Amino acid sequence: MPRPTVHRAPFGSVQGTRTDLWTLDSGTGVRAGVLTYGASLHRLTVPDATGAGASVVRSLATLDDYTGKHPYFGAVVGRYANRIAHGRFVLDGTEHHIPANDRGHALHGGPDGFHTKVWQASPDRTDDSVSLRLTLHSPDGDMGFPGALDATVTYTLDESGTLAVDYASVTDRPTVVNLTNHAYFDLAGHDDVLGHTLQVDADSYLPVDDDGIPLGPPAEVGGTPFDLTAPQVLGERLGTENAQLRAAGGFDHCWVLRDSGGGLRRAARLTAPDAARVMEVWTTEPGIQVYTANQLDGSFTDGTGRRHGRHGSLCLETQHLPDSPNRPDLPSTVLRPGDTARSRTELRFPHLGS
């Protein structure tokens, strides 16, 4: 069996800083392409049940496309993924303000969040896996967040084809942190993912207002289109008449996962219409944001000229819950000096037989 390998190729420069595309190759058909710009998952090639390989994530064509305004294709977003209401929160009696970049609220760390940064990369290899460790220093006051933060994101691809993403952050002052990856998944390469089947292992979710801010405590999914405890065809769920779906244009909601005591457990299972590819998301995080690309309008294309349209893909963003800094009833995202904020997410492909 071929050993896993890793190699680097230039991907252009931004403001005089070189960026690279690193390719992690399992040696068994699964390959992950990671950009140092935004620590972005640019490509994830996965064989189907017949052995035919294709990328299961949507991407952009060039560095210029990534450095322009785009909806976070494949990027690691932070310092705080998802929304902070009105771009402000109080920590230890001090109010902090984050630039509002989404309908009067702070989204994914603000306009110049981690998705706009060039991360430092170092590869590693063992007999059965390859990894890429990416690091970023976020200074005190970056996008209004208190404390200097050192973030590390490590992508590891093993010979079974599992891609793991490990997050670790430390700070020199109390702050809040919530990192995730914003990959857009499409297991079949069709014009939309409405024929995909999705299962989410959660009994409750957070209803939101028209701006995407949680309205109150988690609500039970039973009897609603948000009940994905058994596999459901996405198009059928999104076609249901429901005020939450109508306001968002589809799913753009956070499911509250069943408590695992901080351990790794399955959060979601996505299946292509022909079942030729299956992806499971496993995580230590308490929530998963499902976003069905409701705002994409075909204005973004990949390297083949293929347009990214509405409901053409979906994001499965493992994370803490939105607006947690303003919600003491939700799991805390506060990080203090001497502690490390850690989480792990794995993408597994059971149709490969591993």
What's the whole-model pTM score? Answer: 0.98
Residue 182 annotated in active site: yes
Q: Evaluate whether residue 223 is within a structural domain.
A: no
Nearest to 314 by CA among 228, 230, 210: 228
DSSP state at residue 54: E
Q: Evaluate whether residue 18 is within a structural domain.
A: yes
Contact predicate 50/276, CB 8 Å: yes
Question: Is 291 annotated for ligand binding?
Answer: no
pLDDT tens per residue across span 310-353: 999 999 999 999 999 999 999 999 999 999 999 999 999 999 98
How far apart are alpha carbons 289 and 232 in whole angstroms? 17
Query: What is the pLDDT, as a whole number, of residue 354?
Result: 59
Question: Is 306 annotated for ligand binding?
Answer: no
**What domain count does the chain have?**
1
Per the structure block, which two tokens stand in for 84? Answer: 């902070």
Q: Evaluate whether residue 234 is within a structural domain.
A: no
Residue 181 has pLDDT above 70, yes or no: yes
Q: Evaluate whether residue 208 is within a structural domain.
A: no
Q: Evaluate whether residue 200 is within a structural domain.
A: no
Query: What is the pLDDT, as a whole number, of residue 1?
Result: 72
Question: Is 252 annotated for ligand binding?
Answer: yes
- Single out the catalytic residue among 317, 320, 346, 351: 317
Mean pLDDT of 237-259: 98
The domain spanning residue 30 has which CATH number? Answer: 2.70.98.10
Beta bridge partners of 160: none
Q: Evaluate whether residue 251 is within a structural domain.
A: no
Question: Is 97 annotated for ligand binding?
Answer: no
The band of 262, judged by pLDDT with boundaries at 50, 70 and 90, is confident
Query: What is the pLDDT, as a whole number, of residue 353?
Result: 87
Share of the chain above pLDDT 70, in %: 100
The H-assigned helical ranges of the chain are 63-67, 234-238, 243-248
pLDDT tens per residue across span 11-22: 999 999 999 999
How far apart are alpha carbons 132 and 55 in whole angstroms? 19
Per the structure block, which two tokens stand in for 248? Answer: 């968002």
Nearest to 62 by CA among 11, 23, 105, 25: 11
The band of 145, judged by pLDDT with boundaries at 50, 70 and 90, is very high
Q: What is the mean pLDDT of the chain?
A: 98
Domain that holds residue 297: 5-191+264-352
- Single out the catalytic residue among 42, 96, 115, 182: 182
Residue 251 has pLDDT above 90, yes or no: yes
Question: Is 20 annotated for ligand binding?
Answer: no
Q: Evaluate whether residue 225 is within a structural domain.
A: no
pLDDT tens per residue across span 59-79: 999 999 999 999 999 999 999
DSSP state at residue 80: B
Residue 311 annotated in active site: no
Contact predicate 190/266, CB 8 Å: no
Q: Evaluate whether residue 119 is within a structural domain.
A: yes
Query: What is the pLDDT, as a whole number, of residue 302?
Result: 95
Per the structure block, which two tokens stand in for 56? Answer: 């299961």
